[in-house]
Amino acid sequence: MKPTIAPYPAARARRTRQSEAIRGLVRENVLTANDMIWPVFVRDGEGIEEPVPSMPGVMRRSVDLIAKAAVEAQALGIPAICIFPNTDASLKTEDCAEAWNPDNLSNRSIRAIKAAAPDIAVMTDVALDPYNINGHDGYVENGEIVNDRTIEALVKMTLAQADAGADIIGPSDMMDGRISAMRQALEGAGHHNVMILSYAAKYASAFYGPFRDAVGASGALTGDKKTYQMDPANGNEAMRMIERDLTEGADMVMVKPGMPYLDICRRVKDGFGVPTYAYQVSGEYAMVQAAAQNGWIDGEKVMLESLMAFKRAGCDGVLTYFAPAVARILQG
């Protein structure tokens, strides 16, 4: 039943806007550090922190400094950190074997973070693009990104990450059937408590460009990813993908990118009522930062407003590069 609204002047909407104290009493959504997962980029070496040119303020860090960053994130109240590797070009191959190497960048980072900041949850990325000489999320055979052979590799990658101590597996590949295969493998290996946060509705978006620079995948990519990532014109398809991944064993689901797909976030939350996340992707981050650096917007206020949009759309949390900055603001 819709509430009855009295006519003006009996109802004056501005009464509840007159002061910060009153606005706080009627505020519908609240942003906290607990709402954020911080994506970080790891590279080889030691004591290295290098900027990502297309993402102002974002760094590629060596494993030792990733662990230090996790300690800082834990102190800020950020509940989870997500690892993305910048794999050396010499390790990228057709068979992508580095993806499940127990000592690859991601797995070393998991162990280092767990040793340094045991209370922060570690999320990983499961896709072959950081290890694939072709730059794709799956194996390429005769120009086709093949599904079932790719899943076999993704399962090996998943188990290696779980063995290293990952708390949350993040399949970002969009292969059909991968959630079921991963869940069965995790159960079979005794990793009963390892969660799957599925990139269930991941669109073939132009907003990923800076990310591919950050992980060194843009130069290797041949063609595009439209045969496995979703068409940006489709909404109903996203609901089918969400339902499929939940029935296969996903614990949480994600919509990616974020702000251009807030309608999808709301439909997912309303339709399924499950833990729902969005990824405020590199292109979204870069646009805010570039405009702020040019003095065209108030970067801090836009940063906070953009994250509140996700909460309003029904998201339980957001993967965002702004996480440390926002946590510091929220701490005052």
> b vs e for 109-123, b when ≥16 Cβ sit within 10 Å of the residue's Cβ?
bbbbbbebbeebbbb
Q: Which residues of 8-45 are buried (b: 16+ CB within 10 A; e: fewer)?
A: eeeeeeeeeeeeeeeeeeeeeeebebebbbbbbbbbbe
Residues in the chain: 332
- Distance CA(67)–CA(47), nearest Å, equals 11
Name the pTM for this structure: 0.95
Q: What residue ranges define each of the domains in the chain, with the CATH number in brackets? A: 31-331 (3.20.20.70)
Residue 319 pLDDT level (bands cut at 50, 70, 90): very high
pLDDT of residue 218: 61
| Inter-residue contact 50 to 60 (CB < 8 Å) | yes
Q: What is the DSSP letter of 281?
A: -
**Active-site annotation holds for 202:** yes
Catalytic residue among 92, 114, 225, 256: 256
Q: What is the pLDDT of residues 103-151, one digit of tens each?
A: 999 999 999 999 999 999 999 999 999 999 998 999 999 999 999 999 9
Mean pLDDT of the chain: 95
Residue 221 pLDDT: 77
Q: Work out the percent of the chain whose per-residue pLDDT is above 70.
A: 98
Q: Is the pLDDT of residue 210 over 90?
A: no
CA dist., res. 274 & res. 265, Å (int): 11
Radius of gyration of the chain (CA): 20
| Res 46 pLDDT > 80 | yes
The catalytic residue among 202, 225, 269, 311 is: 202
User: In b/e form, how buried is each residue of 288-319, taking b as 16+ CB within 10 angstroms?
Assistant: bbeebeeeebebeebbbebbbbbbebbbebbb
pLDDT at position 217 is 65
Indicate if 114 belongs to the active site.
no
